[in-house]
Amino acid sequence: MQDQALFEYVLRLADDSLILGQRLGEWCGHGPILEEDIALTNISLDLIGQAISLYDLASELEGAGKNHDQLAYLRFENEYKNVLLVEQPNGDFAMTILRQFFFDAFRLPLYEALMQSPVAQLAAIAAKSVKETRYHLKHTSEWVIRMGDGTDESHERAQAAIDHLWRYTSELFFEDNIDEQLQERQLVPSLKGIQANWMETVKAVLSEATLTIPTNNWKFEGGRQGRHSEHMGYILADLQYMQRAYPNMEW
């Protein structure tokens, strides 16, 4: 292993993108309007694209000769390091949009900060992804506001999604010795600053949407250490199906 800590860090980013992209892919053909079918598929495509670049970097850092597909497809459940938020089921459109909004509001300032990283490849991936993420956040913010300030039903659905997903948001800012190590080496930003930025975005958008932040501060964590929710096994059953059923083949 050439750089274990940085490898783990990049793997977390990659797994977040992959699993959320995988979830969004489930919407294809089932969106509430044609325009949203296009938008959700497009966000999914961006996330899969980011995952490819991130896994490429991770595999270089690992130095074990694995390609991006081997990293993405051939690990066991507890080796995936994505946050629990991104593996939560799509639910209704409100749940999908709020999940995406919470994630985008975290990813945008993170990528902005990572653009300054001395790890050149990571900075380059961040620079490319930041443009995509800015669009995603704009899109999801607009929908949160539309739903919150739309009809009684849309308001209720949006609030229910917030109340449900809130418990998964603190994990976005989870830090352990991997982060501390890399922050000491000044390769990655502190997530505390990102969290403040995130909270500002969330407050502004929810307030315009006439939606409220839950008072429940109960936190669900574990994804970053490979402890997932029950949903994860099913996601991997789909994701890995071909690679597991037809091992060692090229597609």
Partner 1 sequence: MTQAEQERRFLDKIDREIKIEPNDWMPDEYRQTLIRQISQHAHSEIVGMLPEGNWITRAPNLRRKAVLLAKVQDEAGHGLYLYSATETLGADREQLMDDMHSGKAKYSSIFNYPALTWADIGTIGWLVDGAAIMNQVALCRTSYGPYARAMVKICKEESFHQRQGYESLMKLCNGTPQQKAMAQDAMNRFWWPALMMFGPSDAESTHSDQSIKWKIKRFTNDELRQSFVDATVSQAEILGLTIPDPNLKWNEERGHYDFSEINWEEFWQVVKGNGPCNKERIAARLKAKQEGLWVREAANAFAKKRAMKKSA
Residues 6+ apart with CB under 8 A from 22: 44, 235, 238, 239
The distance of closest approach from Cβ of residue 181 to partner 1 in the complex, given in angstroms and rounded to an integer, is 28
Spatial separation of the C-alpha atoms in residues 118 and 136, rounded to whole Å: 26
What residues between 137 and 156 interact with partner 1 by CB under 8 A?
145-147, 149-151, 153-154
Question: Of 1, 4, 28, 192, which one interacts with partner 1 (CB under 8 A)?
Answer: 28
CA-based end-to-end distance of the chain: 28
Query: CB–CB of 99/84 below 8 Å?
Result: no
Of residues 18 and 178, the one with the C-beta less far from partner 1: 18
- What DSSP character marks residue 219? -
Residues 6+ apart with CB under 8 A from 121: 57, 60
Piece of the chain touching partner 1 by CB under 8 A; list 5-13, 22-30, 162-170, 225-233: 22-30
Piece of the chain touching partner 1 by CB under 8 A; list 36-44, 119-127, 131-139, 224-232: 36-44
Binding mask 83-112 for partner 1 (x = CB under 8 A): ---------xx-------------------
- Other C-beta atoms closer than 10 Å to the C-beta of 146 total 13
Rule CB under 8 A: say whether 192 interacts with partner 1: no
Query: CB–CB of 102/171 below 8 Å?
Result: no
**Helix/strand/coil for 32:** coil
Rule CB under 8 A: say whether 175 interacts with partner 1: no
Name the region of 196 (left: φ>0; alpha: ψ -120 to 50; beta: rest).
alpha
* Total site size for partner 1, rule CB under 8 A: 48
Applying CB under 8 A, the residues found at the interface with partner 1 are 18, 22, 25-26, 28-38, 41-42, 44-45, 48-49, 51-52, 55, 68-69, 72-73, 92-93, 145-147, 149-151, 153-154, 157, 238-239, 241-243, 246, 249-251
